[in-house]
Structure 1
């Protein structure tokens, strides 16, 4: 998949993620991206994983867990729409998911392994799509989105959080 989605293939809110995705083969990028993300965080200790750059902000462990949760949810949406199911889907409240997850009980390494497993599952799903399926659409959070749009949102979401991790977390550790 080398063709970027048009702006009408995802909600305006998601432009902040889609715009981060560089030109090129999306699936190759997503495969490389997970390696880069795990390499970046591989040597983080569990104590460092508890770091919060400000009161009330997520810990580094919570950010990693959030990336997995969000990719799972977006991949589920992608699955539904790619198979032709156009049932509108609701949004989700990210803070509720983070607060309910108890990511602090997990090691950073376990969270990274989970993130990698989730990404591999997403890639398997994307590799199996036909050209027709990439163009199918559905609605979530009251916004129309194509399968291609969701795939770019997934890739951009991880890039977005990796930038935050580099700038606000790792720069302070």
Structure 2
């Protein structure tokens, strides 16, 4: 299924930039390629760049990567709940608090990348297991309606969004 097949009622407009950055991508390919692209961006990054922040109060590269891992886990959980037709309204999460307690400064680049690859592998397995009907299931999280398939695209677009920020604000 392609990103352009999503309907406007399948995700909150907040996620539109994540969707648009994917163009006409296919779900499983977007999940796979965004992970590969992130690894290629980070693998040769000098160690000192992992603790770099371009401005006061902005996250470091390590914190961004751990944010991606945390968000991936949250969105996986939402996708699983919606796929299983659990209609419980799920709460949001405060990303800044998650980052604050991530212990990013104590983690190595290798360790963080290995964790990201493991979590993304889990996402690939999860979304690969869903039927077309399951991908259409919807639920509510953070007071917003969302489909399972939209969550998969959000995962990919979220990574690409942060890669763009890293390139523009951290690598120049």
Mapped contact 1:45–1:108 kept (Cα < 8 A): no
- Report the Cα distance in structure 2 between the residues aligned to 1:48 and 1:157, rounded to whole angstroms: 21
Unaligned segments of structure 2, at least 5 residues: none
Quote the residue 1:95 is aligned against: 96
Quote the residue 2:2 is aligned against: 2
Mapped contact 1:88–1:142 kept (Cα < 8 A): yes
Quote the residue 1:81 is aligned against: 82
Shift of 1:65: 0.6
Find the residue that maps to 2:74 and give its secondary structure. helix
Q: How many residues align?
A: 171
**After TM superposition, what 4+ stretches of structure 1 lie above 3 angstroms from structure 2?**
none
Shift of 1:26: 1.7
Quote the residue 1:137 is aligned against: 138
22-31 vs 104-113, which moves further: 22-31
Quote the residue 1:39 is aligned against: 40
Unaligned segments of structure 1, at least 5 residues: none
CA RMSD of aligned residues (A): 1.1
Shift of 1:47: 1.9
Shift of 1:154: 1.0
Per the normalisation by structure 2, the TM-score is: 0.95
Mapped contact 2:30–2:153 kept (Cα < 8 A): no
